[in-house]
Chains A and B, each alone.
Chain A
Amino acid sequence: MSRDGWRKKASEDDGWGGRGGYMAAKISKLEEQFQKDAPREKQKDGTSSCIFSGVAIYVNGYTDPSADELRRLMMLHGGQFHLYYTRSKTTHIIATNLPNSKIQELKGEKVVRPEWITDSIKAGCQLSYVQYQLYAKQKSLNFTSICARGKQDLSSTNDPFKPNPSHPHIIEEDAERPRVNGIHDGDDDDACALLPRGSQDTSLTNGYVHPVNGALKPQDSFAEHSPHVVDIGSHQSHLPQTESRDREEPSCSSAGSKSNFHQRSLISTASPAKQPGLHSMQKDLHPKPTSNPGTSAAPQKGNLHDQTRVRLNGSYHMTPNSSNLADSSHQPGRSGKGAEAGVISEFFSHSRLHHISTWRNEFSEYVNALQSRRRAAGGAVFSGKEKLKKLKANCSSGILSLWFMFVRQSCILHVDMDCFFVSVGIRHRPDLIGKPVAVTSNRGPGRVAQRPGSNPQLEFQYYQRKQKQYRKDGDLEMTPSPQCEEVPSNGVDLDLAALSMAEIASCSYEARQAGVRNGMFFGRAKQLCPDLQSVPYDFQAYKEVALSMYETLASYTHNIEALSCDEALVDATNLLVELGVTPDDLARAIREDIKEKTGCSASVGMGSNILLARMATRKAKPNGQYFLRSEEVDDFIRDQPVSSLPGVGRSMSSKLTSLRVSTCGDLQQLSISRLQREFGPRTGQMLFRFCRGLYDRPVRSEKERKSVSAEMNYNIRFTQVEEAETFLTNLSMEVQKRLEGAGLRGRRITLKVMVRKPGAPVEPAKYGGHGICDNFARSVSLAQPTDSGQLIAAEAIKLFHAMKLDVKDMRGVGLQVQQLEGSHADPSGQGPSRGRSIKDLLLAKQPAHSPKKDPLAPQGWSSVIRTGFFKSSPGLSCRVLDLTLVKHTYCKGGLHHPHTLNHVRTCLNVSIEVPSPSQVDQSVLEALPVDIRKQVEQSWRHREEQPSTSSHLSTPPRTSSSPPPGPSLGTLVLQLPNQLGQPCTTGFILELPDFSQVDPDVFAALPRELQEELCSAYRNKGNTQAHVQAQSSAGDPHKKLFPGNSPAKSSPSKTLPLPLKQPGLKTENVQCPSSSSTDVPETLSKFNPRPVPTLAGAYEFSDIRTLLREWVTTISEPMEEDILQVVKFCTELVEDKDLEKLYLVIKYMKRLMQQSSESVWSMAFDFILDNVQVVVQQTYGSTLKIT
């Protein structure tokens, strides 16, 4: 962005400019007049001074005193009065009332009430105009760069200053700011007067931004930083002599052109708004959350030492491996490792990270739920608020009215429980109060034996080296500072390697005094503080306390953002206005409430933005509250260590240390360009703003998640590839769980693996830890967002194999799903019937059956599905039948054209074979409707009458009048592979239709349990398929359908052994009403990687042709089964949307069969064609054109 560009535009557009030669002449003449008049006026009045020297005012609109009077006063007191506004020369605009549009135009200017002049004269010196600003939040350059994001649409002409590292003008502008600061003495050392003495200068408040580039330093120091700083002196008073002062930099002759900038006013948000109308406008201009550096900077790249916690957005975040859990750390012999089944869920059920992360979501959702409930109810009762209101009523209102001046600006409360884990842990243990307490998994003496294979020293050295590396990155030479020498570890010393490495999740303030820190290894802490008591984790209690904290907050307002289980942000701006209480009152009330309800103390920090509120919390702790007033911000923040800024973790602070930056004040001295060079554009800007107390993110209760992940780098020791795969599968399930919990689906899957660094000890110092590792990550994008663990697992395993790692060296595995979008769950949709692809659908329920159970997964399946069908058959529609019958029924029933519903039903019933009595679960039978039960029993009787050794006994339970034309083809066929008399152990073979043939509507209409059963069956089918294919390639005789006359009614690939009678049969399935949820997986049949339709194994058209030719030429009379098989194949082709092949096949058959001497073949062709046409008609609405 070119500054000159917009500036020019601004002067053209804003209506204040547009001065031609005439105007210029007129203005200068007026000025002359004014100068001439001034001495006269002074003489006349006698009380002259020079307090306004350098000030040039322009009076806009009605003022009291009047413009004339002001002109006179300015004459008397050394100021200038402009009759016409000149952006370059006028320093102040005097007005008591401005229309909105003018405010927009004048956003960059100092608009001051006339009292400023009168009061200044009264006081005998030029007062800071800040208190007299007409409206708050006038433009201050950097401030608007944040808050004006939202305003830009309103005011395009006055584009706010945007930090642009490459542009020198920025620096100029920054440099001149101190001058504009309302302090004017024409002296050369005036810049020194502006040295950060904060308190003397009331305008150094929040919102006001410190000059970047050393402008607050003594002048001799800026020359080296920025040559542009020099013309500081000239900017205020445009007198020639001041320009001559700019001797340090001869090149600054451009002062004239820069004079445009001079009137940029310096503002502070602190100044109370006097005009409610204006104020409300400004409030509306809520800064847009353009960036959230606090969170975006969280992943600390290259910081291998993530065993310790990473300060993330103010909340403590631990990588899973840091939660060294009691159960595992106390079993040194156990080598369960990640591969063991159930470890993951166990891990996550104990992991503190996991708890924190899930809770945070939960509380976010809790807050959301509250808000939506309130919206629904049209208002909510805030008990806490009411209480406070009453309290306030008793109060005198004297202070309150005063406060009204302040409430205009936003006020954020940061509520943070004091050492949450500890205070919850000891709230029922008064004996521990006041003692050093740490929450950790280790309860022993803090010493453990060193395990073979570990080499803590080496790791220690590694981290130390790593630490030094950061410093080398800086171009400054290394400066030995105390911090530099500090080892960035958890306090591991070489000789302490044998100490317990269980980390301290939280420690009390007493323990902190002894030097114990959160995240420190317990062994080390115990050394520092021998009295240290350890308290175990108590997740249930944490949850309770956290919940009651949120309830408390919600009783005041619903404008809450959940940060973690023990931290929340509250936007109290409106609340305070409404109640008319001070932030301190509110904070006190909240804290008392929390203390009362939870027994734990909370600290509250208050500030005008989130950052400041959080910083205030630091000061408030423990058990206190602190309101960081806007006017105190600058002083306050200057002394804050940089590490207290969100997003500044160890790696960044050590880098900053290398730049000789330890406090925010130091940081303020760095230019934005420098910061951006060092840390990248985003982070640089973030730091630049943060160290000035600027933060533009509003409190938001709903936070968009960027990714969902599960990661485990504790106790990962695989020996076999299979273990790793199993682990990935389990991890995927965890991810799925989280995705489902968040109602999200992701498109991009990233597998992150930590691999032991070559040369690193096999066993790390920390038991089960990952030690020194290299991190690898790979990702893949899916076409469709998914939350299916199975799908994720498949991709993850693929990625894993692509990485070609030695599983033995794996130390950590993480799965992350990004590019999230909400799973468009139908309101009514639940469970598997959400709008997913069928694959998801079919796979989603996998976790219910753990892999080892897979062979048995379809327990009770056949009877369940059978009963389900029985149940639905009485009143069913054709569509329901479609589920099982799919299109195959058409082939089968093709003889009886057209297909009535009745006929279809017949087919269904025919295709169901009633199992022998021994194989029917009695409870299921009993649960059946009476008529159906009767039928089943009847069929048994019927069977006894005609004992058959046929392996395909078909007993139509209902319509014996229409016997099946033959064993049915693709549908639900319960085959009896065993001889009847034998107790059937292998059970029935149930043939499932292909996925694609499942009518989605029908599927959705099925009871949920049934759907799940189907899903698992299909899943199983997929599992067996590979096996079957191997079989078929080995020359399974059944596959050889054509010329041989084998009864190829079922290709093995379609069969599924389903033990019928199972102890765990779910009888309730029968009762389950066929809840017809309407949300249908729309793309059900479209998207499944289905096997290519084959005709007796043939798949290429040439093979099919050969097969057909052989069939037609060698056999005089076609078997009916074979014909049906061909029809089935053709049907599959239609399903597969391979009409072309179908067309070719049909045409080829037509030629073959109609040429054949036997008329049977011609009939066969007609039969096939009829059937195919029906399917095509049904699918495409028209029939094939066969010429």
Chain B
Amino acid sequence: MATLTRQDLNFGQVVADILCEFLEVAIHLILYVRDVYPSGIFQKRKKYNVPVQMSCHPDLNQYIQDTLHCVKPLIEKNEAEKVVVVIMDKEHRPVERFVFEISQPPLLSISSETLLSHVEQLLRAIILKISVCDAVLDNNPPGCTFTVLVHTREAATRNMEKVQVIKDFPWIVADEQEVHMEEAKLIPLKTMTSDILKMQLYVEEKTQKT
């Protein structure tokens, strides 16, 4: 890390790398914490120096990876506004939405104080918040599924078609019902602010989950 210089870095890529890595951890953890999958498929791992849960199911892991693979180009170009993990009940009605709202500062400039460890600290805080978020959330009904949504900025969707990785794993326009939840309550979980990234995580929870 010490040898990274201003010139060598493509900031967008670095940010995207950091963020996607984090999102992967976070998604696994959310799935675990929110009981979307049986806890048996999860394994305890260590990331950001804190224990996290990671699924061992290869298909699930692949799906998450593919998804994030496609999110990455968007983040690189600062075109992703929100990444949302939607948890839906049996009837495919969203009951919870974990919203990672991302904004990158217009001028990415990494000063000497911008240490990765600092960013990791902030990310760790979010991870910890996720792992305790069940305290503020109601239990989910059984048989939930999940999906990942990305809110892009204006023209991003048009450009997305051109990116090969996205072509291989194409996105579809989200259903309105996945995007909007009625009578939702918003529970902010954590906000982080660093030189390279500003992100907040909040949960939108359906009032009546049953």
Q: Which residues of chain A have a CB within 8 Å of any CB of chain B?
A: 779-784, 791, 795, 824, 837, 839, 1082-1083, 1086-1089, 1137-1143, 1176, 1180-1185, 1187
8 contacts between A and B (CB under 8 A): A781-B9, A782-B108, A784-B78, A1087-B104, A1138-B191, A1139-B202, A1140-B189, A1143-B187
CB-defined interface of B117-152 with A at 8 Å, one 1/0 digit per residue? 000000000000000000010000000000000000
B7 touches A1141 (CB 8 A): no
Contacting A at CB under 8 A, from B102-120, are: 103-109
Question: How distant is the Cα of A1083 from the Cα of B198 in the complex, in angstroms?
Answer: 14
Residues of B within 8 A of A783 (CB): 11-12, 78, 104-108
B186 touches A1137 (CB 8 A): no
B180 touches A1181 (CB 8 A): yes
Contacts known (A1138-B191, A1140-B190, A1140-B200); A1183 close to B185, Cβ less than 8 A: yes
**Smallest Cβ-Cβ distance to A798: which chain B residue:** B109
Q: Does B57 contact A (CB under 8 A)?
A: no
- Shortest CB-to-CB span from B172 to chain A, Å, is 21
Residues of A within 8 A of B180 (CB): 1181
Q: Which of A781, A795, A1083 contacts B153 (CB 8 A)?
A: A1083
B106 touches A1182 (CB 8 A): no
Q: Does B188 contact A (CB under 8 A)?
A: yes
Closest 10 CB pairs of A and B: A1139-B188, A1185-B185, A1182-B184, A783-B108, A1087-B106, A1140-B191, A1143-B188, A1082-B154, A1182-B186, A1140-B188
A1089 touches B186 (CB 8 A): no
Q: Which of B10, B12, B107, B184 contacts A1181 (CB 8 A)?
A: B184
Question: How distant is the Cα of A1184 from the Cα of B187 in the complex, in angstroms?
Answer: 6
**Smallest Cβ-Cβ distance to B193: which chain A residue:** A1138
- Shortest CB-to-CB span from A1094 to chain B, Å, is 15
Question: How distant is the Cα of A1086 from the Cα of B106 in the complex, in angstroms?
Answer: 9
Contacting A at CB under 8 A, from B1-30, are: 6-7, 9-12
- Shortest CB-to-CB span from A1179 to chain B, Å, is 10
- Shortest CB-to-CB span from A88 to chain B, Å, is 42
**Smallest Cβ-Cβ distance to A1085: which chain B residue:** B103
Q: Which of B106, B154, B188, B202 contacts A1089 (CB 8 A)?
A: B106
Q: Which of A780, A824, A1181 contacts B109 (CB 8 A)?
A: A780
B187 touches A1137 (CB 8 A): no
Question: How distant is the Cα of A784 from the Cα of B109 in the complex, in angstroms?
Answer: 11
Residues of A within 8 A of B89 (CB): none
Contacting A at CB under 8 A, from B180-210, are: 180-181, 184-191, 193, 198, 200, 202, 204-205
Contacts known (A1182-B184, A1184-B185, A1184-B186); A1137 close to B205, Cβ less than 8 A: no
B103 touches A1184 (CB 8 A): no
Residues of A within 8 A of B136 (CB): 1185, 1187
B185 touches A1138 (CB 8 A): no
Residues of A within 8 A of B6 (CB): 780-781
Contacts known (A784-B78, A1083-B153, A1180-B204); A837 close to B106, Cβ less than 8 A: yes
Residues of A within 8 A of B9 (CB): 781
B189 touches A781 (CB 8 A): no
Residues of B within 8 A of A781 (CB): 6-7, 9-11, 108
Q: Does B101 contact A (CB under 8 A)?
A: yes
A1183 touches B106 (CB 8 A): no
- Shortest CB-to-CB span from A460 to chain B, Å, is 36
- Shortest CB-to-CB span from A267 to chain B, Å, is 39
**Smallest Cβ-Cβ distance to B106: which chain A residue:** A1087
B103 touches A1176 (CB 8 A): no
- Shortest CB-to-CB span from A1108 to chain B, Å, is 18
Question: How distant is the Cα of A1143 from the Cα of B203 in the complex, in angstroms?
Answer: 12
Residues of B within 8 A of A1087 (CB): 103-106
Residues of A within 8 A of B81 (CB): 1086
A1183 touches B7 (CB 8 A): no
Q: Which of A784, A1181, A1184 contacts B106 (CB 8 A)?
A: A784
Contacts known (A1141-B191, A1181-B180); A782 close to B185, Cβ less than 8 A: no
* Size of B's binding interface in residues, CB under 8 A: 36
Contacts known (A1137-B103, A1184-B185, A1184-B187); A1082 close to B202, Cβ less than 8 A: no
A1082 touches B153 (CB 8 A): yes
Contacts known (A781-B7, A783-B104); A1183 close to B191, Cβ less than 8 A: no
Question: How distant is the Cα of A1140 from the Cα of B200 in the complex, in angstroms?
Answer: 8
- Shortest CB-to-CB span from B144 to chain A, Å, is 19
Residues of A within 8 A of B153 (CB): 1082-1083
Residues of A within 8 A of B200 (CB): 1137-1140
Beyond the given pairs A784-B107, A1181-B184, A1185-B187, 7 more chain A to chain B contacts, judged by CB atoms under 8 angstroms and listed by A's residue number, are: A782-B107, A782-B109, A783-B107, A1082-B153, A1183-B186, A1184-B188, A1185-B205
Question: How distant is the Cα of A783 from the Cα of B12 in the complex, in angstroms?
Answer: 7
Question: How distant is the Cα of A1089 from the Cα of B109 in the complex, in angstroms?
Answer: 13
- Shortest CB-to-CB span from A1081 to chain B, Å, is 10
**Smallest Cβ-Cβ distance to B196: which chain A residue:** A783
B11 touches A1182 (CB 8 A): no
A1137 touches B191 (CB 8 A): yes
Residue picked from B153, B187, B193, most chain A C-beta under 10 Å: B187
- Shortest CB-to-CB span from A996 to chain B, Å, is 11
A1086 touches B103 (CB 8 A): yes
Residues of A within 8 A of B154 (CB): 1082
Residues of B within 8 A of A1180 (CB): 186, 202, 204
Contacts known (A779-B7, A1082-B153); A1139 close to B186, Cβ less than 8 A: yes
- Shortest CB-to-CB span from A422 to chain B, Å, is 44
A1176 touches B186 (CB 8 A): yes
A1139 touches B184 (CB 8 A): no
**Smallest Cβ-Cβ distance to B104: which chain A residue:** A783
A1137 touches B105 (CB 8 A): no
Question: How distant is the Cα of A29 from the Cα of B153 in the complex, in angstroms?
Answer: 75
- Shortest CB-to-CB span from A398 to chain B, Å, is 54
Contacts known (A1180-B204, A1185-B205); A1142 close to B106, Cβ less than 8 A: no
- Shortest CB-to-CB span from A842 to chain B, Å, is 11
Residues of A within 8 A of B104 (CB): 783, 1087
Residue picked from A1088, A1181, A1184, A1187, most chain B C-beta under 10 Å: A1181
Residues of A within 8 A of B186 (CB): 1139, 1176, 1180, 1182-1185
Question: How distant is the Cα of A791 from the Cα of B204 in the complex, in angstroms?
Answer: 38
Question: How distant is the Cα of A781 from the Cα of B81 in the complex, in angstroms?
Answer: 22
Residues of A within 8 A of B204 (CB): 1180-1182
Question: How distant is the Cα of A266 from the Cα of B136 in the complex, in angstroms?
Answer: 81
Q: Which of A784, A1088, A1139, A1182 contacts B191 (CB 8 A)?
A: A1139
Question: How distant is the Cα of A783 from the Cα of B9 in the complex, in angstroms?
Answer: 11
Question: How distant is the Cα of A779 from the Cα of B8 in the complex, in angstroms?
Answer: 11
Question: How distant is the Cα of A598 from the Cα of B190 in the complex, in angstroms?
Answer: 71
Residues of B within 8 A of A1185 (CB): 136, 185-187, 205
Question: How distant is the Cα of A634 from the Cα of B169 in the complex, in angstroms?
Answer: 55
CB-defined interface of B166-178 with A at 8 Å, one 1/0 digit per residue? 0000000000000
- Shortest CB-to-CB span from B189 to chain A, Å, is 7
Residues of B within 8 A of A1181 (CB): 180, 184, 204
- Shortest CB-to-CB span from B165 to chain A, Å, is 21
Residues of B within 8 A of A1142 (CB): 188
- Shortest CB-to-CB span from A1066 to chain B, Å, is 30
**Smallest Cβ-Cβ distance to B108: which chain A residue:** A783
Residue picked from A781, A1141, A1181, most chain B C-beta under 10 Å: A781
Question: How distant is the Cα of A1184 from the Cα of B205 in the complex, in angstroms?
Answer: 10
Question: How distant is the Cα of A766 from the Cα of B207 in the complex, in angstroms?
Answer: 80
Question: How distant is the Cα of A1087 from the Cα of B78 in the complex, in angstroms?
Answer: 11
Residues of B within 8 A of A1082 (CB): 153-155
Question: How distant is the Cα of A782 from the Cα of B11 in the complex, in angstroms?
Answer: 8
Question: How distant is the Cα of A42 from the Cα of B205 in the complex, in angstroms?
Answer: 101
Question: How distant is the Cα of A581 from the Cα of B37 in the complex, in angstroms?
Answer: 78
- Shortest CB-to-CB span from B152 to chain A, Å, is 10
Residues of B within 8 A of A1141 (CB): 191
**Smallest Cβ-Cβ distance to A1141: which chain B residue:** B191
Question: How distant is the Cα of A1089 from the Cα of B10 in the complex, in angstroms?
Answer: 21
- Shortest CB-to-CB span from B185 to chain A, Å, is 3
